[in-house]
Structure 1
Amino acid sequence: MIPLDFLQHIATEYRVSPLEWKVLSKAIAGETTSAIALDLDITEDLVRKRLSDIYKKFRIEGRGPVKLARLQQRLHSLYQSSLAPENSSRNEIPISATGQFHLTEAGIDISTFQGRIEELSALQQWILQNNCHLIAILGIGGIGKTALAAKLVELIKDRFDCVIWRSLLSDPLLETAIADILQHLLPSTDNLPERLSEKISLLLNEMRSRRCLLIIDNVETILQRGELAGQYSPEYEGYQELFRRICEESHQSCLLISSQEKPENLGFITRDTYPARALYLNGLKVKDGREIFKSQNLSDEPQWNDIIEIYQGNPLALKIVATTIQYLFNGQAAEFIKRRTLLPKDIRNLLSNQFERLSSLEQELMYWLAIKSSPLDLEQLYHLQWLPISFSELADAIESLGQRFLIEKNIESGQVVFSLQPVVKEFLVETFIEGASQEIVEAIKTDNLEELRLLRSHAVTSTVKNSPNLILSAIKDKLLRFFKSPNRLRDCLNKILSELNTELSSDSGGYAFDNIAALVAKLEI
């Protein structure tokens, strides 16, 4: 339990207003939105708005209940950090030999860590033998970057004078991060220089005078949303200088970073001439994934390998799935596969957070790869675009998706083709169906065809194996649940068709006319 006075202190520090504090304190206590509204005599919409403002102040991302859970985790992490004893002298730094550094204080549990023998060996060689200045652990969300870094720290912490872990989820500002690190290295941080470059110089001096292992987790937090991968948000551009100088200047320490995408100025980490390396993290091996299911006492062992393949060995996804199987199917893996319950809520939230980071062109390309039943090459993707783009824009977007680890590249008949992992594909098909259905409802409600964005930009009427027919059937079923009457729905769709028909001469309707016509035909069956 976090003390109330600490919560009030943190709320003040993050500029939470008195009115927002009333909502926050009740939400943290577990009260529902309706209960909070009743207690405070305000509307539920106002409760949600104040919570939304609070999440922004704490830089919490996500949707719905996930945001509150992440806020609670953030507050707990801040409280745990506040319990650490203050260092009163230069020698009282977090030195591994004294046991002052604990991964549990960073909210990291590696008690169930599995596998990664080759990855740990490579990391240890780069740090201890090659004396690399900067190492990046990169990979899709849930793949185990933080856990791998934590396991590595446990193995090599005795080789360093100090180990300092900093997650950017709590406060990504570089000035705050450097001050937080320096308070463990200096007798006092009361008179730090104002210029950022001088603060970085001060940090590098300490990295020369002693052997430090610095870990900066969740670097994707400082990268821009809605743009191509790796671009720094304007307020965090100072990290470029930090990473560059740590890599280029002389010292005896190492900075380890983790991220869901590679920051754009880290291209040098693939060059042998620089003391820096990147580890691109893939899923667990089958035998290690099976250990996760074994620890959850799942039955139907012959089915385990199929589930591990579906989720590409993503350790977080496997743990979520194992919990789901145990809770919903009494541990029977075969029942899980039979029901095709591939997307538990927590996995949908994980993928949704990553999808929302993409640029609009990246999202369009992901949808195309999802609704098409076979992999696509660049030429095919280029000709599928409704709105004109240049080939270089397409290539940049595909390369960006690769840097986010969201697409797979293969060679078929000597041609490079792109596809999606099964779970990502399933998520995007569900998202497309939900989005297209909502767009049709809104277009009918508002009598505004501009709402038909997905159905203008993507064709679901002609691919092999009837995949689009399944998508159209799902959209039809969702619309029927809303309109109740097939005749009413048919009349509304025919009205849309009539209006779209006038747009055909200007070619502004995209794929919308064919998609709506196919839906009408579905209603006739």
Structure 2
Amino acid sequence: MDVSSFYGRSEELTQIESWIIEDDCRLVTVLGMAGVGKTTLATKLATSIQDRFEYVIWRSLEYTTPGNHLLSELVSFLSNRQQSKPDINLLIHYLRTSRCLLILDNLETALNANLMGKYRSGYQIYGDLIQAIAKTKHKSCMILTSREKPTLVATFEGTGLSVRSLHLQGSQEIALHLLESKQLLGSDEQKQQLCDRYSNNPLQINMIANAIIELFDGKIGKFLELNTLLLSNISQLLKQQLHHLSELEWHIMYSIAINQEVTSVDTLAKSICPTVPQWQLLNAIERLIWRSLIEKQAKGYIQKPIVMEYVLERLKQQIL
């Protein structure tokens, strides 16, 4: 990705760079909703610290075939074409002898959408590779970007450990900059309101800004008067991320959306637990957090405004 016009995210860049350079982290995962800027951040980071590594390897799993092809490619590259056997132990050997930065982008495309944190058929090799890099001592680092947290990452991560995760949120700085670059018409208050409605998600802000230009001659106030968030492109974006939720996960999403405020575990348990064991409820809540669809706050769980509106609209359609 071209990051020549990269803007903001200095705090996040400093944090991850510190983990890798100062704390010698072996595995760093950047998590967040679609469009929040995971790939852009990872690209900028790799560009900034590439001089600290002998090799830098980037692969988007969105365009990678299943099986051992990637592993063979990595071994071949790091051995200067002397080896090509898809052997994880052999790869670890080269990660010990050379300092390598390996970035796997769009990890969620290798995950099974119906089995949280598990891999699709033929893609388990990526799970084995991640586990080996997380558990084995070496001097290299892998960066993952994903909409979902793999189970292995949750198992090995922690403060003071060599596996860390960053949950990337929207950036007000980037969102306002995007609106300024589009030259939309509106007061500072209207621009702030628009950014807040979309939780400062850069991709969503860019989509809605283009729609406001086409439909409302760039006038933010005219769009805000409609009091709606779900234009077609954004609805499709959310549908991709929520499409494979289980029935229990949908029940939780509906309950939080109907409350329209922070919802406690006790509240969810009263409406859901009579039909399912509490441990299943807690597991489902954890999975939704891993998918960045709900957020943990001091008194319970909340959804982003755009997610809440999508969930409520889906519930209305089901009722109708």
Q: TM-score, normalised by structure 1?
A: 0.57
Residue 428, structure 1, aligned to residue 311, structure 2: yes
Secondary structure (helix, strand or coil) at the match of 2:78 reads: coil
Q: Which residue number in structure 2 is paired with residue 22 of structure 1?
A: none
Residue 368, structure 1, aligned to residue 248, structure 2: no
Query: Matched residues in 2 for 1:339 and 1:111: separation?
Result: 36
Q: Which residue number in structure 2 is paired with residue 214 of structure 1?
A: 102
Query: Matched residues in 1 for 2:160 and 2:88: separation?
Result: 23
CA contact (8 A) 2:134 2:156 kept: no
Residue 109, structure 1, aligned to residue 12, structure 2: no
CA contact (8 A) 1:224 1:232 kept: yes
**Residue of 114, 120, 125 corresponding to 1:226:** 114
Query: Matched residues in 2 for 1:113 and 1:324: separation?
Result: 23
Secondary structure (helix, strand or coil) at the match of 2:282 reads: helix
Q: Which residue number in structure 2 is paired with residue 240 of structure 1?
A: 127
Q: Please, which moves more after superposition, 381-390 or 399-408?
A: 381-390
Deviation at 1:392, TM superposition (A): 1.2
CA contact (8 A) 2:75 2:84 kept: no
1:301–1:135: structure 2 CA closer, same or farther, 3 Å change rule? same
Q: Which residue number in structure 1 is paired with residue 35 of structure 2?
A: 142
Query: Matched residues in 2 for 1:224 and 1:134: separation?
Result: 21
1:338–1:155: structure 2 CA closer, same or farther, 3 Å change rule? same
**Residue of 56, 77, 84 corresponding to 1:184:** 77
**Residue of 170, 177, 182 corresponding to 1:283:** 170
Query: Matched residues in 2 for 1:136 and 1:282: separation?
Result: 14
Identity of aligned residues (%): 34
CA contact (8 A) 1:370 1:428 kept: yes
CA contact (8 A) 1:343 1:423 kept: yes
Structure with higher Rg: it is 1
CA contact (8 A) 1:298 1:326 kept: yes
CA contact (8 A) 1:226 1:356 kept: no
Q: Which residue number in structure 2 is paired with residue 406 of structure 1?
A: 293
CA contact (8 A) 2:110 2:119 kept: yes
Q: Which residue number in structure 2 is paired with residue 101 of structure 1?
A: none
**Residue of 295, 302, 308 corresponding to 1:419:** 302
Query: Matched residues in 1 for 2:144 and 2:173: separation?
Result: 28
**Residue of 254, 259, 280 corresponding to 2:141:** 254
Query: Matched residues in 1 for 2:113 and 2:220: separation?
Result: 37
User: What is the count of residue pairs matched by the alignment?
Assistant: 319
Q: Which residue number in structure 1 is paired with residue 186 of structure 2?
A: 300
Q: Which residue number in structure 1 is paired with residue 66 of structure 2?
A: 173
Deviations 1:32-73 (A, max 9, x none): xxxxxxxxxxxxxxxxxxxxxxxxxxxxxxxxxxxxxxxxxx
Greater RCO, 1 or 2 (C-alpha within 8 Å, sep 6+): 2
Deviation at 1:259, TM superposition (A): 1.0
Secondary structure (helix, strand or coil) at the match of 1:278 reads: strand
Deviations 1:171-230 (A, max 9, x none): 2524122123334323437x633xx5xx11221222222221110011112222223x32
Query: Matched residues in 2 for 1:393 and 1:386: separation?
Result: 9
Query: Matched residues in 1 for 2:309 and 2:245: separation?
Result: 18
1:375–1:129: structure 2 CA closer, same or farther, 3 Å change rule? closer
Q: TM-score, normalised by structure 2?
A: 0.92
Unaligned runs of 5+ in 1: 1-107, 438-525
Alignment of 1:14-29 (within 5 A): none
1:358–1:161: structure 2 CA closer, same or farther, 3 Å change rule? same
Q: Which residue number in structure 2 is paired with residue 18 of structure 1?
A: none
Q: Which residue number in structure 1 is paired with residue 23 of structure 2?
A: 130
CA contact (8 A) 1:172 1:221 kept: no
Deviation at 1:144, TM superposition (A): 0.8
Deviation at 1:124, TM superposition (A): 1.1
Deviations 1:325-354 (A, max 9, x none): 122111111111112241222211111011
Read off the aligned partner of 1:168 and give its amino acid letter: L
CA contact (8 A) 1:268 1:276 kept: no
Deviation at 1:386, TM superposition (A): 8.9
CA contact (8 A) 2:178 2:206 kept: yes
1:426–1:112: structure 2 CA closer, same or farther, 3 Å change rule? farther
Query: Matched residues in 1 for 2:128 and 2:108: separation?
Result: 16
**Residue of 200, 203, 212 corresponding to 1:313:** 200
CA contact (8 A) 1:248 1:274 kept: no
Query: Matched residues in 2 for 1:334 and 1:366: separation?
Result: 30
Higher helix content, 1 or 2 = 1
CA contact (8 A) 1:168 1:219 kept: yes
Secondary structure (helix, strand or coil) at the match of 2:174 reads: helix
Deviations 1:354-410 (A, max 9, x none): 111322211221122223344432222223239711111111111211111111233
CA contact (8 A) 1:226 1:360 kept: no
Q: Which residue number in structure 2 is paired with residue 200 of structure 1?
A: 88
Secondary structure (helix, strand or coil) at the match of 2:62 reads: coil
CA contact (8 A) 1:247 1:274 kept: no
Read off the aligned partner of 1:207 and give its amino acid letter: L
**Residue of 323, 331, 338 corresponding to 2:210:** 323
Deviations 1:211-267 (A, max 9, x none): 21110011112222223x323335333333211221222322111111111111112
Query: Matched residues in 2 for 1:131 and 1:272: separation?
Result: 13
Deviation at 1:427, TM superposition (A): 1.0
Secondary structure (helix, strand or coil) at the match of 2:122 reads: helix
Alignment of 1:325-404 (within 5 A): 325-385=212-272, 388-404=275-291
Alignment of 1:57-136 (within 5 A): 108-136=1-29
RMSD: 2.1
Q: Please, which moves more after superposition, 417-426 or 142-151?
A: 417-426
Query: Matched residues in 2 for 1:217 and 1:375: separation?
Result: 32
Deviation at 1:417, TM superposition (A): 2.5
Unaligned runs of 5+ in 2: none
CA contact (8 A) 1:172 1:222 kept: no
Query: Matched residues in 1 for 2:214 and 2:6: separation?
Result: 22
Secondary structure (helix, strand or coil) at the match of 1:155 reads: helix
Deviation at 1:424, TM superposition (A): 0.5
